[in-house]
């Protein structure tokens, strides 16, 4: 078991629709991260193509899960000896997904996750919702789960990962400035109530007419920030330790004291029953 994991979260301005510019940014960032002994680099939602796109532009930049784009990222992983989680618009036949894919340091695709909770009219016009919370994957001895943006605002998603053994949840996001409370308050609470680490990677600056909140962060299982960006392009780096998870789970035994038999209404019905 590896007790420590060094991760980096990239917060950057989007280059909407420009795959080559975004790939060059990732190339430069991967080298910077490698120089700091980073083992996992996390980038924002749809980081390699931009998020706030028209339907036409969205379709134009869409890529298969395995193709030229994944091959380019795979080469970066091998060259820099680190894993990369990157966001892109995935085309699968005639269906389009908002997807994050993790490639490990050997260049192998570990897993892809399709955003399940679509935010607002734009998301629902551009994408089909994913239909599964994928199990955590192993990165250098750490169990790592994936969510995307709005997904983390539903506590059931993070809890599902925690119960599956996740020690870190990565959350690529495209959070607008009006919703900074998600980055500042919701994300730390998700880390605390599930007693694990969360890496939240957002855009900054302006993309078309969307002003992003920035505020990317790496939160510990005690809800405290290990690293926090403001509103400028930033590479956050932090080293996580499993002992922090073990300590808080001994101090506050949420996982041990859960009573799942009382919570069935949460997943079995869309509304609460007449009595609790």
Rounded to 10 degrees, what is the CA torsion of 79, 92, 110, 18?
30
C-alpha distance across the termini of the chain, in Å: 42
Q: Which of 115, 167, 219, 242 is catalytic?
A: 115
Q: Which of 77, 90, 105, 149 is catalytic?
A: 149
Is residue 149 among the annotated active site residues? yes
Is residue 210 among the annotated active site residues? no
User: What does the alpha-carbon distance between residue 234 and residue 45 come to, in Å, rounded to a whole number?
Assistant: 16
Is residue 13 among the annotated active site residues? no
User: What does the alpha-carbon distance between residue 57 and residue 255 come to, in Å, rounded to a whole number?
Assistant: 45
User: What does the alpha-carbon distance between residue 232 and residue 63 come to, in Å, rounded to a whole number?
Assistant: 28
- Region of 270 please: left (phi>0), alpha (psi -120 to 50) or beta: alpha
The H or E element that residue 90 is part of is strand 83-92
User: Annotated catalytic sites, by residue?
Assistant: 45, 115, 149
């Amino acid at each position: 078991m590896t007790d420590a994991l060094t991760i980096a979260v990239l917060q950057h301005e989007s280059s909407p629709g420009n795959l080559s510019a975004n790939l060059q940014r990732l190339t430069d960032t991967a080298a910077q991260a490698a120089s700091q002994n980073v083992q996992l680099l996390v980038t924002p939602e749809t980081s390699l193509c931009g998020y706030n796109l028209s339907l036409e532009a969205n379709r134009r930049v869409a890529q298969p899960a395995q193709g030229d784009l994944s091959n380019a990222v795979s080469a970066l992983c091998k060259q820099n000896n680190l894993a990369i989680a990157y966001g892109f618009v995935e085309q699968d036949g005639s269906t389009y997904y908002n997807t994050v894919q993790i490639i490990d340091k050997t260049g192998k695709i570990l897993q892809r996750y399709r955003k399940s909770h679509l935010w607002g009219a734009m998301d629902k016009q551009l994408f089909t919702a994913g239909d599964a919370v994928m199990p955590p994957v192993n990165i250098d001895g750490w169990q790592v789960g994936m969510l995307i943006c709005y997904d983390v605002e539903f506590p059931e998603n993070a809890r599902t990962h925690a119960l599956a053994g996740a020690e870190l949840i990565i959350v690529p996001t495209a959070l607008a400035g009006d919703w900074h409370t998600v980055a500042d308050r919701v994300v730390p609470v998700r880390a605390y109530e599930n007693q694990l680490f969360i890496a939240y990677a957002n855009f900054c600056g302006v993309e078309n007419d969307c002003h992003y909140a920035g505020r990317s962060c790496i939160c510990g299982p005690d809800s405290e920030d290990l690293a926090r960006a403001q509103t400028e392009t930033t590479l956050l780096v932090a080293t996580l330790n499993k002992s922090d998870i073990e300590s808080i789970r001994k101090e506050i035994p949420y996982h041990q004291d859960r009573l799942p038999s009382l919570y069935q209404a949460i997943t079995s019905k869309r509304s609460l029953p007449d009595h609790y």
